[in-house]
Structure 1
Amino acid sequence: MATDSAFNLSLLRDRNDAAVLRAVRARGGAGVSRVELAAETGLTAQAISKIAARLLDEGLLAEAGRERVAGATGKPRTLLRLVPDARVALGAQLGREELRLLRVDLAGTVTGQARATVDLRGEPGPVLDQLAQMASELTSDVTDGQVLGLGLAAPGPLDAREGVLHHVTGLPRWRGLRLREEMQARCGLPVVVEKNTTAGVLSQLGSDNRAFVYLGDGVGAGLVLGGRVQRGARTNAGEFGHQCVDRDGPLCACGARGCLEAVCLTALRAGRAEEAAQVLGVGVANLVRLLDVDEVSLGGGRMLDAVELFEDAIRAELASRVPDGTWQTVTLSRAPRLAIPLGAAGLAMAHLFH
């Protein structure tokens, strides 16, 4: 019983610390007083005082001057601000042809990045060794205690809970790889494994019902519904690219025919970009009608390289396939090019803020 009680107290402390850090970060560099933190978090003044003292000792917060509240008597209030460079996190995108790695501070600012060309059709070991070397070089100027961990976004299907890849489309040598364990052994950091499109949808704030649609080395989608990220029963939701759009279409790397991914990528390789955009638009319209999302964020190199073409095609398909466009409106937005590794880095530091 004593052990359970100690665990519960520790969990409560972590949640309260996270609530305070989240509130301070939301103010940016302006700073926030302890009184305001109590009002925003619902914690008592005594609890705020203890938490603030602990976070100041850990270097996560710093004093940011004083302010006098109009009409108030007594001493001016001391403001607290986040110390962005107190900790860093790494976010990686494991692409079929390229590795991208970012170093991100607590404010979400990219403070370093690296990239390398890879070929995932070969053995995993050399690629993971290269990623570990990149991580070491990117954090060579900070102490080990400052690095919160590595968020690693990978193509699926995968089990994010266990950090295990399954039948990754077109990559038989990666099937069954215990990716989290392999990377932890190589870089000596906590590692979070997530599906690439799920990391993408978490990279920025948006509607409570939104999708991140990716077109790069594959096609996929990340989903937030009702304000919660959707991972599915096996953490493998978002296989958007493997909906069938043509039963007699080209053979997909997954083994089926006519997948949206296969049709779209085949058209792009043949120089038929308009056809690819139209097919993707059909897929997005299907997604909107199935899940009633009201925002679709477009990401991935192939998408963003011709984003106006894809936006026009998606709008046209939505207009023709959604019955009442004046009621079921959908906002299209453009995701950052680094959305996936940014989202992965956010997952590596999530325990501090959530």
Structure 2
Amino acid sequence: MGPEVPGVGDVPGVADVPGVRGGRGGEAGVNLLNLRSHNAALVLDLLRTAGPAGISRLELAERTGLTPQAVSKITARLRAEGLAVEAGRRASTGGKPRTVLRLVPEAGHAVGLHLDRDELTVVLCDLTGAVVAERRASLGLGAGADAVVEGAAGEVEALIAGVSVLGVGVALPGPLDHVRGVLHRVTGFPEWDGFPLRDVLVGRLGVPVAVDKDTNAAALGIALGGGSGAGSGGGSFAYLHLGTGLGAGLVIGGGVHRGARTGAGEFGHQVIQLGGPVCGCGDRGCIEVLCLEAVGRGDVDEAARVMGVGAANLVGLLDIDLVLLGGRTVAGHPEAFVRGVRAVLGERARREGVGAGVPVRVASGGARGVAEGAAQLLLAPLFGRGEG
């Protein structure tokens, strides 16, 4: 049986399994220790960020503001549960050398599942967010709920065979209700409206499940650094994802901004051409349909210009620090998209007399960035990094 870890079942938006405080894998499952402790999460996060070099108990006390006695109790508990181990000794300014502790990354795992319109990616991440296993498969989001759920569940089960997991984070196109894990009218697939994806997957897999929009998951992974080492480079940024659709993940003040109904980030459905072509959402002249049509006829520069117009709208509305680009279409032409979006933002900055435009670059994480972010829906709360 795997080690115990703090409170996944208490994470808002994560459906737990009655009578199960963890996930199934090699054995009947993990009996998660529900520490419900902000202090324990602080210590775990510092152990995580310290990396293999580790951190001493005295440093933990200094950086958390906790008493040495409290830190000793917390670290003793984490060691007993296999989450932390000694990592040697470090010279001190006086007295005996300090023992340093480090996180045990393999002490727990989370699954990240990205359901795109035509394929799925599923990753298994350790406690640091690093990917230790990955699977891909074709997927037809319009094939019907039963087929999609069964196919996705089968890929997850194949990946976690013999491994106990904290749960599964699922990311897919919106709109949806992140808190309840219920889908709304997914653009292009209205038949999903009202489908309780989170609860259905909990029943099928027997592990805690969290559901969020693909762009929010990717933005969360970027904000936390994840296993890919990505970082936002600023307190507020927009992640623009162009693949089979176009959306945005917004990080404001260091946290993912979802809005009251998980409705924030429907970037692709800004209307910028009245009476333009019909979009999958039913409106006309949306950025998404204009971008995808330009890509379809091979005019990547025009697609990048359209995306830049939308990015400029976001910069004007939110005064964000950075624009990051991702998704498979961007990955196919990264330089062209960065150049095109940057040009529009630069022109806006010149008109406003504010100097250089907001920086634009390709997001780290590559093709599996959304899946890695989905795993953070389960991992982030363990380290006190919001509710995922």
TM-score category (smaller protein): over 0.9
Shift of 1:327: 4.4
Distance 2:328 2:314 in 1: 21
User: Residues 272-330 of structure 1, C-alpha deviation per residue, up to 9 Å, x if partnerless?
Assistant: 22221111111111111111111011100001210111111111111222334644641
Distance 1:252 1:308 in 2: 27
Q: Number of matched residues?
A: 341
Conservation of the 8 A alpha-carbon contact between 2:347 and 2:357: no
Alignment of 1:166-181 (within 5 A): 166-181=184-199
Conservation of the 8 A alpha-carbon contact between 2:129 and 2:379: no
Shift of 1:228: 2.3
Alignment of 1:307-318 (within 5 A): 307-318=334-345
Range 220-229 or range 237-246, more displaced? 220-229
* Aligned match of 1:20: 43
Distance 2:276 2:72 in 1: 64
Alignment of 1:223 onto 2:223: no
* Aligned match of 1:261: 288
Conservation of the 8 A alpha-carbon contact between 1:250 and 1:262: yes
* Aligned match of 1:235: 262
Conservation of the 8 A alpha-carbon contact between 1:149 and 1:349: no
Q: Give the one of 54, 63, 67 matched to 1:44.
A: 67
Identity level (%): 48
Distance 1:184 1:47 in 2: 36
Partner AA of 1:107 in structure 2: T
* Aligned match of 1:139: 160
Shift of 1:68: 2.2
* Aligned match of 2:358: 330
Alignment of 1:345 onto 2:378: no
* Aligned match of 1:191: 209
Distance 1:353 1:48 in 2: 15
Report the secondary structure of 1:234's partner residue.
coil
Range 120-129 or range 29-38, more displaced? 120-129
Report the secondary structure of 2:121's partner residue.
strand
Range 318-327 or range 239-248, more displaced? 318-327
Shift of the 11–106 alpha-carbon distance from structure 1 to 2, 3 Å rule, reads closer
User: Residues 193-241 of structure 1, C-alpha deviation per residue, up to 9 Å, x if partnerless?
Assistant: 0111011111123111101000001000000112222111101210000
Distance 1:11 1:288 in 2: 41
Structure 1 residue ranges without an equivalent (≥5): 1-6
Alignment of 1:30-109 (within 5 A): 30-70=53-93, 72-73=94-95, 75-109=96-130
Shift of the 26–325 alpha-carbon distance from structure 1 to 2, 3 Å rule, reads farther
Shift of 1:350: 2.0
Report the secondary structure of 1:121's partner residue.
helix
Partner AA of 2:339 in structure 1: D
Structure 2 residue ranges without an equivalent (≥5): 1-9, 11-32, 223-230
User: Residues 88-113 of structure 1, C-alpha deviation per residue, up to 9 Å, x if partnerless?
Assistant: 10001110001010100112211000
Distance 1:16 1:276 in 2: 47
User: Residues 103-158 of structure 1, C-alpha deviation per residue, up to 9 Å, x if partnerless?
Assistant: 0011221100001101111201111111111111111132x3xx111000011110
Report the secondary structure of 2:320's partner residue.
coil
Shift of the 109–325 alpha-carbon distance from structure 1 to 2, 3 Å rule, reads farther
Partner AA of 1:148 in structure 2: L
Range 78-87 or range 267-276, more displaced? 267-276
Distance 1:115 1:330 in 2: 35
Q: Give the one of 125, 145, 151 matched to 1:124.
A: 145
Shift of the 132–325 alpha-carbon distance from structure 1 to 2, 3 Å rule, reads farther
User: Residues 237-284 of structure 1, C-alpha deviation per residue, up to 9 Å, x if partnerless?
Assistant: 100000001112110011000000011111111222222111111111
Partner AA of 1:230 in structure 2: H
Alignment of 1:150 onto 2:171: no
Distance 1:331 1:20 in 2: 34
Report the secondary structure of 1:148's partner residue.
coil
Shift of the 148–11 alpha-carbon distance from structure 1 to 2, 3 Å rule, reads closer
Report the secondary structure of 1:203's partner residue.
helix
Partner AA of 2:296 in structure 1: R
Q: TM-score w.r.t. structure 1 length?
A: 0.93
Alignment of 1:280-291 (within 5 A): 280-291=307-318
Conservation of the 8 A alpha-carbon contact between 1:319 and 1:325: no
Distance 1:138 1:227 in 2: 32
Distance 1:327 1:43 in 2: 44
Range 314-323 or range 165-174, more displaced? 314-323
